[in-house]
Amino acid sequence: MATGSLDIRPIGKVYGVPNVYQDEKLADLERHAASIIMDLHDALPKGTFTLKRRSLELLRKFLFIMHYRNVSYSGTYFQADHPENAGGRQWIESFMKAKGIHSSVGIWLHFLKYYLDSSHSDIMRDAAKLVERYGEEGLQYMITESHIPPDLEHFPAYTYHTHANNYFFSIWEAAEGEEFILTQNGFGLWEGLADGQPDLHRIFIVSPRIASQMKAYIKHVSLASSLLNVNPAPPTPIYASGRHGPHIEHVNFQSATSLARYRSSQTGANDSFLFKITKLSRRQTLELNSVLLVNVKETGSLTFLSRGSMFRTARAFRSSPANFPASELLVPLIAQLTDTMETEMLPPSLMYFAIYCIFIALLVYLVYLGIVKSVSLVM
């Protein structure tokens, strides 16, 4: 953003992280996620999308790991002396000593391997043991007010559990003629407050047409968010043996262990979830893009597919006094788009290919081919 240069560049070079994609399990996870995302694109005209439990778990795991990957390189995720890690400092230092790890990046890599080597079900079972032992409130208290006992081997499983259990997955489609933009923090960006506490929403830009949003299961509290005029509903579960079948009656929904056991069972694997795709209006699409833009950093990049859509997004963002001074970063981009913009009318086949390409930064095997390009403003 600082240089103000407008280039067509390989997505992988803009957002890829060197030496992270060498793990075959990460590559395999991304390939499966890519297949699900392609199926989701095909389902857009229907307005609904159905996923089996294992596919939904895989997609959740993919989103979690991609966010975890990005956050870690800020150098603060497991930084013992970081103010936000005060409650976990003793645990971090003890764990590093026990495992012979000498840096915050080293401990991050250790748990990246844990997340990749373990199935969604395995991680949730590890987290369930912690919940049964300490309770949800006890674990939250450890994180925010107290300290994490140094002997908890799999405490990061609870972070994964919180992401998977406390937020429902929803699918948003951009308005016709508009698109979602991609920024360096646009994959797992937190947004909104609930009773003054952060993390109401978590935003993932999947493609120019699709954003997935995780929304906290929260009711009857004071909410503050730029996205409150979008009201997605949780998916509808379709239980394999019937909504009131014996496998449901025998599950103790108050027990994390009982829930984890059922969800990891073959019966649970046959459950499906029906998602209603939320089609945003033009204003709602611009509002979501504004959330991304207000969090853009001067040293980052802004990526888009359509110059016309980006121009409208930038102008709308710039026109709001509430976005000053963040909108100052967009002045060079608006000037360049004004000078070079042309109507973009791609044939359907090429448009579909372009939509596929935009999220390829997340997909290792095509990233390394180096064939995927998009328009990117280097910040």
| Distance, CA of 14 to CA of 34 (rounded, Å) | 19
Q: Which two tokens stand for residue 114?
A: 């844990």
Q: What is the pLDDT of residue 8?
A: 65
Buried b or exposed e, range 191-207, using 16+ CB within 10 angstroms:
bbbbeeeebbbbbbbbb
Q: What is the pLDDT of residue 34?
A: 94
Number of domains in the chain: 1
| Distance, CA of 202 to CA of 185 (rounded, Å) | 11
| Distance, CA of 112 to CA of 123 (rounded, Å) | 12
| Sequence-separated (6 or more) residues with CB below 8 Å from residue 90 | 147, 148, 150
Distances (CA, A) of 159 to 68, 144, 193, 272, 336: 10, 13, 19, 25, 42
| Distance, CA of 192 to CA of 196 (rounded, Å) | 9
Q: Which helix (H) or strand (E) holds 193?
A: strand 187-194
Q: Label each residue of 317-344 as H, E or C.
A: HHHCHHHCCHHHHHHHHHHHHHHHCCCC
- The CA-to-CA distance between both ends of the chain, in Å, stands at 2
Q: What is the pLDDT of residue 180?
A: 97
| Host domain of residue 92 | 5-378
| Distance, CA of 273 to CA of 49 (rounded, Å) | 8
Q: Which two tokens stand for residue 353?
A: 């290919």
Task: Determine contact, residues 281/47, Cβ cutoff 8 Å.
Answer: no
Q: Which two tokens stand for residue 35?
A: 């297949």
**Residue with structure tokens 């890599």?**
109
Residue 267 bridge partners (DSSP): none
| Distance, CA of 70 to CA of 204 (rounded, Å) | 12
Instruction: Per residue of the chain (379 residues), give pLDDT as tens.
Output: 556 666 665 555 555 555 554 568 888 999 999 999 999 999 999 999 999 999 999 999 999 998 888 765 656 788 888 887 877 888 889 889 989 999 888 989 899 999 999 999 999 999 999 999 999 999 988 877 777 887 788 889 999 999 999 999 999 999 999 999 998 888 899 999 988 888 899 999 999 999 999 999 887 689 999 999 999 999 999 988 776 544 565 677 778 999 899 999 998 999 999 999 999 999 999 999 999 999 988 877 899 999 999 999 999 999 999 898 889 989 988 998 988 765 444 444 444 433 434 344 444 333 333 333 445 454 4
Cis-peptide into 325, omega within 30 deg: yes
Query: Helical H runs in the chain?
Result: 11-15, 24-43, 53-72, 89-99, 104-117, 120-144, 156-165, 246-249, 256-263, 266-269, 282-294, 307-319, 331-340, 348-358, 364-367
Q: Count other C-beta atoms under 10 Å from residue 110's C-beta.
A: 15
